[in-house]
C-alpha cells in the first residue's frame, strides 16, 4: 500500500491537468524559445476556460476503475470505464478512435488491442494516463510495474507502449514518495526496452542549458512512448518548478499537451498542489472534478483494506 499523502496525489493530478490544458492549444507546433513559450502560456491563461483533452479524460477513467471496480486492474473493465468517459471532441488519436469503434461493436478487448496495429500501439496514451498507478503503489516497485503494465493493456500491448507507462508510473511514484525528482531520480528509473533505456540515458545526460529545439531533436516530441516520455521527464527533472516544466514542454513543440501533462504529473507529485501558480485553477476545465478524483484516490490509499495487489 502506498505511503504517499493526499498532497502528493492532488499535486500530481493537478499538475497533469495543468500540463494538458496549457499544452493542448500548442499541440503539433515547432519548437520555440522558452521566452516565446512563456508568452504562449500567458496568452492561454487569458482565455475564460482551457479545455482538457484525452490525457485527462483517460486519467479520470483509470481512477474510476481503481477506486470503483478493482485496483488489480482488469483490462476489460478498464476499457468500459474509458468508454463511459469517452468524448470524441477531446483530441484522441486516430488509432484510439478506431479502437473505441471496435469496443462499441462488441469486440473482445484483447483482440481489439492488436486490430489497429498488429504488434499493438507504442503510442504514449498508456503513459499519459498512468499517474494514479504510481501514486497508488508508491514504494512498491514490483506492484507498480505489474499494475502499470495491466493498465496499458486495453489500448497499448506493444512492449514500448507498455514500457512508457511503467517508466512514467515509477517516475510519479518516486516524486510522490520522496518529494524530489532530479537527474539522479531520472537516471535510476527502470526501463525494460532498448527504446526507453536509450531515451532515459539521453534525457539524464542532456544539459538544462540546451535550446528547446536542441532538446526536441535529442529526445523527440512525437506521440509515441519512447519519443515523449524521456522529454517529459527531462522537463520535470531539470526545471525548478511546475510552471517552468510546463513552459519548457510547450517550448519543445510537438505533442505538447501530453509531454506537459506527464512532466506536470511528476513535478506536481514532488511539489504538491501549492505549486500550481495563483490564477491557474479557475481557468483549468475540470479542476474541481480532478480535485474530487484526487480525494477519492487518496481516500482509497488508507481505507485499511490491506494487501491491494
95 binds, among Mg ion, ligand F2R, none (CB under 5 to 8 A by kind): ligand F2R
- 223 in contact with ligand F2R (CB under 6 A): yes
CB of 214 to ligand F2R, least distance (A): 22
User: How far is residue 83 CA from its own chain's centroid?
Assistant: 19
Q: Which residue has the cell 469503434?
A: 101
CB of 251 to Mg ion, least distance (A): 16
Element (H, E) at 268: helix 256-271
Stretch that binds ligand F2R, among 114-122, 138-146, 170-178, 238-246 (CB under 6 A): 114-122
- 250 in contact with ligand F2R (CB under 6 A): no
Report how far residue 258's alpha carbon sits from residue 226's, in angstroms, rounded to the nearest whole number: 13
63, three cell numbers: 481512477
- 54 in contact with Mg ion (CB under 5 A): yes
- 195 in contact with ligand F2R (CB under 6 A): no
Query: Is the torsion defined by CA of 39, 42, 46, 48 positive or negative?
Result: positive
| Chosen residue from 123, 159, 230, 264 binding ligand F2R by CB under 6 A | 123
- 115 in contact with ligand F2R (CB under 6 A): no
Cβ distance to ligand F2R smaller for residue 103 or 308 = 103
- 248 in contact with Mg ion (CB under 5 A): no
Specify the DSSP class assigned to residue 90: G
CB atoms under 10 Å from CB of 188, counted, come to: 11
| Chosen residue from 96, 112, 191, 276 binding ligand F2R by CB under 6 A | 96
First to last CA, the chain: 9
Query: Is the torsion defined by CA of 83, 89, 92, 94 positive or negative?
Result: positive
| Chosen residue from 52, 103, 122, 234 binding ligand F2R by CB under 6 A | 122
Cβ distance to ligand F2R smaller for residue 149 or 257 = 257
Report how far residue 57's alpha carbon sits from residue 230's, in angstroms, rounded to the nearest whole number: 22
Which whole-number Å values give the CA distances from 51 to 56, 91, 135, 208, 216, in the listed order?
10, 11, 24, 30, 25
Tell me the Ramachandran region of residue 254: left when phi exceeds 0, alpha when psi lies from -120 to 50, beta otherwise.
Answer: left
- 214 in contact with ligand F2R (CB under 6 A): no
56 binds, among Mg ion, ligand F2R, none (CB under 5 to 8 A by kind): none
Q: Which residue has the cell 516544466?
A: 245
Interaxial angle between packed helices 242-252 and 229-238, expressed in degrees from 0 to 180 and rounded to the nearest 10: 140
- 55 in contact with Mg ion (CB under 5 A): yes
Cβ distance to Mg ion smaller for residue 63 or 298 = 63
- 275 in contact with Mg ion (CB under 5 A): no
| Chosen residue from 38, 158, 244, 308 binding ligand F2R by CB under 6 A | 158
Per CB under 6 A, residues contacting ligand F2R are: 27, 53-55, 91-96, 117, 119, 121-125, 128, 158, 223-224, 255, 257-258
Question: Using CB under 5 A as the criterion, which residues of the chain lie in contact with Mg ion when the complex forms?
Answer: 53-55, 91, 255, 257-258
Amino acid at each position: 500500500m502506498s505511503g504517499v499523502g493526499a498532497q502528493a496525489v492532488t499535486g500530481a493530478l493537478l499538475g497533469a491537468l495543468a500540463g494538458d490544458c496549457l499544452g493542448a492549444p500548442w499541440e503539433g507546433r515547432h519548437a520555440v524559445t522558452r521566452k516565446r513559450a512563456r508568452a504562449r502560456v500567458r496568452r492561454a491563461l487569458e482565455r475564460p476556460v482551457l479545455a482538457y483533452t484525452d490525457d485527462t479524460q483517460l486519467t479520470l477513467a483509470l481512477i474510476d476503475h481503481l477506486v470503483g471496480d478493482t485496483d488489480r486492474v482488469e483490462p476489460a473493465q478498464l476499457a468500459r470505464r474509458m468508454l463511459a468517459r469517452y468524448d470524441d471532441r477531446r483530441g484522441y488519436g486516430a488509432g484510439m478512435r478506431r479502437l473505441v469503434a471496435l469496443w462499441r461493436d462488441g469486440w473482445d478487448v484483447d483482440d481489439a488491442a492488436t486490430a489497429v496495429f498488429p504488434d499493438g500501439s507504442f503510442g504514449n496514451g498508456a503513459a499519459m494516463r498512468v499517474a494514479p498507478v504510481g501514486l497508488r503503489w508508491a514504494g512498491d516497485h514490483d506492484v507498480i510495474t505489474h499494475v502499470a503494465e495491466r493498465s496499458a493493456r486495453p489500448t497499448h500491448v506493444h512492449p514500448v507502449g507498455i514500457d512508457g507507462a511503467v517508466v512514467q508510473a515509477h517516475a510519479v511514484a518516486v516524486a510522490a514518495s520522496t518529494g524530489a525528482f532530479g537527474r539522479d531520480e531520472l537516471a535510476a528509473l527502470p526501463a525494460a526496452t532498448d527504446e526507453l533505456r536509450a531515451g532515459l540515458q539521453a534525457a539524464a545526460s542532456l544539459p538544462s542549458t540546451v535550446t528547446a529545439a536542441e532538446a526536441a531533436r535529442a529526445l523527440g516530441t512525437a506521440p509515441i512512448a519512447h519519443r515523449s516520455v524521456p522529454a517529459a521527464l527531462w522537463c520535470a527533472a531539470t526545471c525548478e518548478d511546475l510552471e517552468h516544466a510546463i513552459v519548457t514542454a510547450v517550448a519543445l513543440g510537438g505533442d505538447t499537451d501530453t509531454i506537459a501533462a506527464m512532466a506536470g504529473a511528476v513535478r506536481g507529485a514532488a511539489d504538491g498542489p501549492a505549486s500550481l501558480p495563483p490564477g491557474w485553477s479557475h481557468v483549468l476545465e475540470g479542476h474541481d472534478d480532478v480535485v474530487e478524483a484526487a480525494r477519492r484516490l487518496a481516500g482509497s490509499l488508507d481505507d485499511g483494506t490491506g494487501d491491494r495487489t
